[in-house]
Structure 1
Amino acid sequence: MTYKIAPAEGKTPYSVLGNMPLYALSLLFLLLHSMMAFIRRKMNIL
């Protein structure tokens, strides 16, 4: 084969951010779940 491949430039979002979006979404879902459980518990007591 005699094709020449140009090297890629720049960074991918994963190389820039890493796992941070995954951690942020997990934390957000955990907080939402906790808030909904708290609200549900308050609604049942009243």
Structure 2
Amino acid sequence: RNRVKYKVHDENNEARPGDIVLIEECRPLSRHKRWRMKSITHRAS
């Protein structure tokens, strides 16, 4: 299984390092951010 790191916009600052999140593509929010966090699927312990 592969892991990829994306720069994702987390509007409410909910995610923590190590969390697995569901993301969706959106309009460009900054130079590198083109993804928005939809939900947190698995919290890091």
How high is the TM-score relative to the length of structure 1?
Answer: 0.16
Higher-Rg structure is 1
More helix by share: 1
